[in-house]
Structure 1
Amino acid sequence: MMAGYVQNGVFSEALEIFHTMKSDTNLAPDETTLSIALSAIAQLGHSEEGVAIHSYITRNGIKLDGKLGVSLIDMYAKSGRIETALQVFDGIKEKNVDHWNAMIGGFAIHGFGKLAFESFLKMQKLRVKPDGITFVSVLNACAHSGMVKEGVICFEIMGRVHMIKPEIQHFGCLVDIFARAGRIKEAMTIIEEMPVEPNDVVFRTLLSACSNLENSVQRPTVNHAIGMDDYGSGTYVLLSNIYARFGMWNRVRRVRVMMKERKLRKVPGRSWIELDGTFHEFFVGDGSHPRVAEIYSVLDNWSLDSRVESFRLQSKLEPALFPVGS
């Protein structure tokens, strides 16, 4: 039942079942149970509970060579504790590709593109065969770190060395790599020549990069997004905003009419945080919170601090992961 809740995104209920199991002295959680609980914790950000499970694992001498180790690395990474995730990773003697994927994915989440790419190279050195998930993580890390050359190298290695057929996710990452670097023409060429039908995410990636490039909205590849029936509201809203930015009001009206005909509504982005047992929910552009001025002031400071902390972590983690002579 816990697995079913997690698979359907009902994470709090999954943890409630886990806590019920722990209270029953006749039911000791096994590796599968602990792994599922860690997955729920990773999504909820309840890192304290994850630390408690880690302590339980250590006290009982449970091995981390399988899925449990993967879940623990993933939990720490998603909770922002990337150094602890690396410590867990380093402590696993018999690592498989899933452990490497979890660690590389953690680096990607936090913008450590160089570490993700170097981890991928170390996999090659240790003859750990990567899979499709490995390349999605590395390509995503390269995109967010502006590492175009490294991203292209990974994409080439995937097909030519490991004979892995690129899927839509890999092409989407490659489009993102070029688009974020402002190389829109190359990104559009990839979409035009890719052997699979581009989906909503691919076009939205390209449209986001085109938001400041007027000539881009004239290209058939980008305009193709407006004619697709199965795309979500986000793509249409983004395209409408681009047209509006350049005063192309006829196209703005056309997009909005199509959204109305297809009964698509803009869903505002939102986030939430739990503080002292109370949940605070925020929507994009929402200034209704009574302490909104303080919140934005703190966020501005965090933005600067996070850049400094990212550089510090990069400098600290690199020699830890790749010691001299390794």
Structure 2
Amino acid sequence: MFRHGNMVFGRIQTLIPQTQSVSHLLQLHSILLKSALDHDNDLVSQIVLSACSISVNCAKLVFDNIPIVPPIFAWNTIIKAFAKSSTPVESVKLFCRLRSFGLQPDNFTYPFVLKACGRCSLVRQGGMVHCLTLKTAFDSDRYIGNTLLKMYVDCGYVESARQALDEMSVRDVVSWSSMIAAYIACNSPSVALNVCQEMRISNVKPNAITFVSLLSACTHLLNISAGKSIHSYIIRNHIELDVALGTALFEMYSKCGLIEKALQIFNSMHEKNLLSWTSMISALANHGRHKDAFSLFSQMKDIGLQPDSLSFSVILSACSHMGLVYEGKKYFDEMVSLYNIKPSIEHYGCMVDLLGRAGLIEEAYDVIKNMPVEPNDVILRSFLASCQNHGCFPSLDDRLLSKLEPEIGPNYVITANILSLSGSSDDANNLRVVMKQKGLMKIPGCSWVDVPNG
């Protein structure tokens, strides 16, 4: 049977790109088997590619029933599909099968399987793939190097990622940006800024993604000087403030105390998403500008953006700190009845704090008792602090106090104070003795500011 004269072959080749359902795909696969065309590498590759776009599990079924050793394109296609799926470990298994057939992975195979290793935190298997890239001289491929670095980062092995970066023969903006982001993720913002200096020495220009990470480092360090320097670079080089970069920039200014500058940048952004609005509302509330926060929340709704769970957490927290009980209740009811958002433990915590601060202890206690989930340590501590501050002690359920985390010093202090003020002095003294025996203490609250030299 000559391939180009085969009408069935041509018909199947035409139908493959049109296949849009599992049912049609299986019918097509059946025709392929009956016509003995399942030995054709091109058709096999095409049908696996089409199957992956419909259902990765269906693609695996087709792939497993190929009577020949599939071509490397088909292997790469299905490994890539599983690497992006909810079961990326299948990519690693497929890679092992590929090797067992004596096939050689190519420059497309390695990035896909490394991505899967990173998603599954399979650093041992990722390390083995790393060794293979060295043995097969693929370590000089920039794309493979970047994926390898990202794999170590995703597995939490930052120093291994740094070693991979140092060993790369060619490092681009993706390589450096990934390394900077990794150090920030592991709470080493100072090191991230140092890596940026190395990047500049290497004559690699940062991009918007790099700057988002660097601004995050400045925010963690409250380094306004470095933050302003980055902002100047962005302006000089005409780098567009997209949503992510603009948000990172105004968050840096707001966290460093320059709320007006943050608001100016927010207003200058051509595009904003829900997270941008929520972050700015939170910044205004944290700086005591609650009226502006409420106004911005209303503006956000007026332009058609629907607030989400996080947005309501921010606005309820603002109500709590301002003591706006009526407004807090209104927003809580609006969240549930108008936006159909199921209250989370954070929302309940805001309401308990709001009512407790206002001295509405019984109402706060009702919220705790009627919560569909168990109150956490933060909510209980907030409530008991309100009881202490207002000298009001409802008939507390003994189980309430028992739910406080026992190894945290402040929990002992506040519980002892509650017991003492409610007339249970002996129980309070016993608690203080236990606290002393365990070596627990309540660390005094403190704050600090950065004072310019001179």
TM-score relative to the length of structure 2: 0.56
More deviation, 189-198/147-156: 147-156
Partner of 1:291: none
Partner of 2:432: 256
Shift in alpha-carbon separation, 1:196–1:4, aligned structure 2, 3 A? farther
Shift in alpha-carbon separation, 1:49–1:244, aligned structure 2, 3 A? farther
Distance 1:96 1:222 in 2: 46
290, 295, 299: which one pairs with 1:113? 290
AA aligned to 2:181 is: A
Question: Counterparts of 1:198-209 in structure 2 under 5 Å?
Answer: 198-209=375-386
- Offset from partner CA, 1:84-119 (integer Å, 9 cap, x none): 111001001111111101110101111222211121
2:202 is the counterpart of 1:24: yes
Distance 1:15 1:203 in 2: 40
Question: Counterparts of 1:16-165 in structure 2 under 5 Å?
Answer: 16-25=194-203, 27-165=204-342
More deviation, 109-118/224-233: 224-233
Distance 2:243 2:287 in 1: 24
Is the 2:251–2:279 Cα contact (8 Å) retained in structure 1?
A: yes
Partner of 1:7: 185
2:410 is the counterpart of 1:224: no
- Offset from partner CA, 1:189-225 (integer Å, 9 cap, x none): 1111111111111112112212233332x53158713
Shift in alpha-carbon separation, 1:83–1:274, aligned structure 2, 3 A? closer
User: Taking every aligned residue pair, what percent have the same amino acid on both sides?
Assistant: 39
Distance 2:335 2:376 in 1: 21
Report SS of the residue matched to 1:208.
Answer: helix
C-alpha displacement of 1:17: 2.2
Aligned residues: 275
Distance 1:108 1:179 in 2: 19
Distance 2:241 2:408 in 1: 40
More deviation, 243-252/180-189: 243-252
**Structure 2 gaps, min length 5:** 1-178
Distance 1:50 1:142 in 2: 31
C-alpha displacement of 1:47: 1.2
C-alpha displacement of 1:57: 1.4
AA aligned to 1:235 is: N
Is the 2:243–2:269 Cα contact (8 Å) retained in structure 1?
A: no
Question: Counterparts of 1:140-289 in structure 2 under 5 Å?
Answer: 140-216=317-393, 218-221=394-397, 224-229=400-405, 232-244=408-420, 248-259=424-435, 264-273=440-449
- Offset from partner CA, 1:302-321 (integer Å, 9 cap, x none): xxxxxxxxxxxxxxxxxxxx
Report SS of the residue matched to 1:170.
Answer: helix
More deviation, 235-244/140-149: 235-244
- Offset from partner CA, 1:247-282 (integer Å, 9 cap, x none): 6422322333554677644344444555578xxxxx
Distance 2:242 2:351 in 1: 32
Distance 1:134 1:4 in 2: 28
C-alpha displacement of 1:79: 1.1
Shift in alpha-carbon separation, 1:260–1:87, aligned structure 2, 3 A? same
AA aligned to 1:71 is: A
AA aligned to 1:5 is: Y
- Offset from partner CA, 1:8-37 (integer Å, 9 cap, x none): 333322322233323332x22222221122
Report SS of the residue matched to 1:215.
Answer: coil
Distance 1:22 1:73 in 2: 24
Shift in alpha-carbon separation, 1:143–1:261, aligned structure 2, 3 A? same
Report SS of the residue matched to 1:72.
Answer: helix
- Offset from partner CA, 1:272-304 (integer Å, 9 cap, x none): 555578xxxxxxxxxxxxxxxxxxxxxxxxxxx
Shift in alpha-carbon separation, 1:38–1:179, aligned structure 2, 3 A? same
C-alpha displacement of 1:236: 2.2
Is the 1:117–1:142 Cα contact (8 Å) retained in structure 2?
A: no
AA aligned to 1:180 is: R
AA aligned to 2:206 is: P
Q: Which has the higher contact order (CA 8 A, sep 6+)?
A: 1
AA aligned to 2:387 is: C
Is the 2:274–2:307 Cα contact (8 Å) retained in structure 1?
A: yes
Max Rg structure: 2
Report SS of the residue matched to 2:392.
Answer: helix
Shift in alpha-carbon separation, 1:16–1:56, aligned structure 2, 3 A? same
Shift in alpha-carbon separation, 1:119–1:273, aligned structure 2, 3 A? closer
Distance 2:257 2:436 in 1: 40
Shift in alpha-carbon separation, 1:235–1:84, aligned structure 2, 3 A? same
